[in-house]
Structure 1
Amino acid sequence: MDSATNMTTFVTFLFFLVVGLMIGGSCGEHSLDRRANVAKRSDNDTYYNIYTKINTLEKYVSNLETKLQKRTKLLQKLLRSVVEIDGNIGLPEKSPKKNAVGFTTKLHQATYSSTSSNIRGSTILYNGGNAYNGTVFTCPKPGLYLFHVSLLTRTKYGGIWIYKNSQKLTIAYAGNVDPQYNGASVSAAVWLDVGDQVYLRAHTSPMLVDNNSVFTGVRVN
């Protein structure tokens, strides 16, 4: 009985050993299958991820190109605006030079028989602002002005006064000399308001004014 019992126990052990080995082999196979499936999935995921990244990069590059085009157009508009502004700024730079208030004229050659008559200009060399009408300068804008007269005459005691409105300012006086051509000059700096007038009158009469005499005025500030 003991031998039979031992034999039965040994057979049972072998049975369970075989079953255990079979189960282990099956589990191993399933484990290998799972690993293979994981590997395949991993390969597929990698494949998917690469193309997903490529698509994402393509979209990103496309967006960059769109933004770049928009910015290029914006820069072009800004550049055109800058050029237009620069052109508009450039124009007035020349205008003040052309419109600077001032004049220079040669005086009309004549013998003036009255000290109350304005001495006329002849050849106007410059008339910025058109404030000098050939006889009288009328102030177009307030400021400090400088006037100068250069007289050439052969009249004894000859001279020219610079007037502001009805006020005598300064005189270019040729002096008490024998009748021959003599020169004299004088300047006057004076503040003028709009509408003030500056002109020339003879100191004595009759008085000859040569046409090489000159009258000049300019706004200095």
Structure 2
Amino acid sequence: MERVLDEWNITLTEKVRDLEMNTQKKIHDMEKMMRQVLLTVNQMDVKLENSDVHNMSLEIEKLKKEGFNHVKNSTDIGFTARLGGTYSRSDIIKAYNSPIFNYGNAYNGSVFTCPIQGLYLFQVSLISNTAGDGVFIYKNGHQLILAYTSERSQGLNSGSVSLVINLDIGDQVYLLPNSGSLRVDGESVFTGVKIN
């Protein structure tokens, strides 16, 4: 059983790493696009000095609006946060510090609020010295799935779970302990990303 859990954790860790790499690539591509827009705006500013002020001014405003609307209407949403602390049954589990990554700012450090309807993937990798406990993923007050730690009484225990779910705008996803007091190690991770 422990070997299966270790293999499962390795597979999930690889999937999280792949998701983080893909997300970082999307951020890089978005930054590249924004640099191109900024370069184009700067080039327009230079042309403005050498041509009809009124017409060029209108072109610059149009270009700035197009760039802003592209970012505003982006469907790329995702976050990764380290978790940590000691929690009772009714405490929402929070990010240990600010999220490592929070594209779209939909995760406030404890609750993910869906900004764009679609299919989302959530993943929890839990490390704890609390034996035989775990963390549930909740949606709008409804318990969905459990990342359960092993029963070892000494040392660190781990558990992980992934969930794909369709969300509507305003739906909230968060984590709650399975039972009493739960100690969440600072290397535990909560990740969410819009996949469609």
TM-score (norm 2): 0.62
* 2:81 is aligned with 1:105: yes
Match of 1:201 among 176, 180, 184: 176
Match of 2:138 in 1: 163
Specify which structure has the higher proportion of helix.
1
1:96/1:149 CA distance change after superposition, 3 Å: farther
Question: CA RMSD of the aligned region, Å?
Answer: 2.8
1:194/1:98 CA distance change after superposition, 3 Å: closer
Relative CO higher for 1 or 2, CA cutoff 8 Å, sep ≥ 6? 2
* 2:170 is aligned with 1:184: no
Q: For 2:101 and 2:76, how far apart are their aligned partners in 1?
A: 10
Match of 1:69 in 2: none
Q: For 1:105 and 1:91, how far apart are their aligned partners in 2?
A: 29
What stretches of structure 1 of length at least 5 have no aligned partner? 1-79
Match of 1:138 among 113, 122, 137: 113
Q: When the two structures are aligned, how many residues end up with a matched partner? A: 140
Specify which structure has the higher proportion of strand.
2
TM-score (norm 1): 0.55
What stretches of structure 2 of length at least 5 have no aligned partner? 1-55
Q: For 1:94 and 1:129, how far apart are their aligned partners in 2?
A: 13
Q: Which runs of at least 4 in structure 1 moved beyond 4 Å after TM superposition?
A: 87-94, 96-99
Q: Considering only CA atoms, is the larger Rg found in Structure 1 or Structure 2?
A: 1
Would the aligned equivalents of 1:157 and 1:204 in 2 still touch at CA under 8 Å?
no
Query: SS at 2:154's partner residue?
Result: coil
Q: For 1:97 and 1:210, how far apart are their aligned partners in 2?
A: 36
Letter matched to residue 79 of structure 2: F
Match of 2:95 in 1: 121
